[in-house]
Structure 1
Amino acid sequence: MSTTNQITTKWLGKMAFESNNPSGLNFTIDAGPDAGGEGNGLKPKALMLSALAGCSGLDVAMLIKKMKLDVENFSIETIANLTDEHPKYYDAVTLEYHFWGGNLEEKKLQRAVDLSVEKYCGVMEMFRKFAKLEIKTIFHKD
């Protein structure tokens, strides 16, 4: 059985929109001044990168907890190449998973990243349809 998500995105005037989310939270989308907006919101293409990192990050955080791993800090750097011609889209994306801690279990953390990338992250699967993905894992030991 499939699930349907529905959101409403409402024009606020000029180039700004307010969008809701099934979580019950709202956010603003806006263009920068160079495109007639006021820069008071999040940009749509960058939101896609946040969705990608957030989806995978939730997987990895769940696996860190499940595997009882000792991680002091964790972040994901997402670097994307935007095509030059319209419609502009991301054709290549690099995700760098950074882990900090004095007692990092590198093999288990790499397994957590691999499970997210290869099995769990639906947004990652969507990105695979249009972009070349590169995954890097970097360990920072105290």
Structure 2
Amino acid sequence: MSHIVTTQWKKNVQFESDNPSGHKVLIDLGPENGGKGEGLRPKALMLTALAGCSGVDITPMLEKMKVEIEDFKIVIEGHLTEDTPSYYHTVTVDYHFYGKDLDEKKINRAVNLSVDKYCGVMEMFRRFAEIKVTSHFHNS
């Protein structure tokens, strides 16, 4: 199986990239790098892909486990090397779960299954970065 995306130059350092789903994303750099900041930055887009990949693993698992949550967010911080080209050498992934009487054991199981078994983007990141994962529970 393969994925094909086409990325088209729009202007300056701005590009529009499609996705096998048919949706598009705008990529641009900030003014400090010659762009206008009108799109997503390429390296940060990698972190977005990591969060999305893990999130779409976790929410269906929680549903199957009959675990109810009110809200869920993933905060990722990527630490870049000083070298050129820079890349993420360490990535921290913080999962935040919100709700009443959260079942921490089942939620941790879903997170661990995503991190250790199902999330292909996480596996790609492991090839070049140290990954630090923490779950946070916000009971209301």
TM-score relative to the length of structure 1: 0.97
- The residue aligned with 1:14 is 12
CA distance in structure 1 between the aligned counterparts of 2:102 and 2:127, rounded to whole angstroms: 33
The answer to whether residue 127 in structure 2 is matched with residue 129 in structure 1 is yes
Per-residue deviation at 1:135?
A: 0.6
- SS in structure 2 of the partner of residue 88 of structure 1: coil
Q: Does 1:50 align with 2:48?
A: yes
For residue 31 of structure 1, give the secondary structure of its aligned residue in structure 2.
coil
TM-score of the superposed pair, with normalisation by structure 2:
0.98
Alignment of 1:1-142 (within 5 A): 3-142=1-140
Does the CA-based 8 Å contact 1:9-1:19 persist in structure 2? yes
Q: Deviations over 1:31-61 (max 9, x none)?
A: 1111111111110000000000110011001
Q: Deviations over 1:59-87 (max 9, x none)?
A: 00111111110111111110110111101
Structure 1 runs (4+) deviating above 4 angstroms are none
- Gapped regions of structure 1 (runs ≥ 5): none
1-structure distance, mates of 2:77, 2:13: 26
Q: Distance in 1 between matches of 2:101 and 2:22?
A: 38
What amino acid is aligned across from residue 70 of structure 1 in structure 2? E
Give the match's secondary structure for 1:40: coil
Deviation at 1:97, TM superposition (A): 0.6
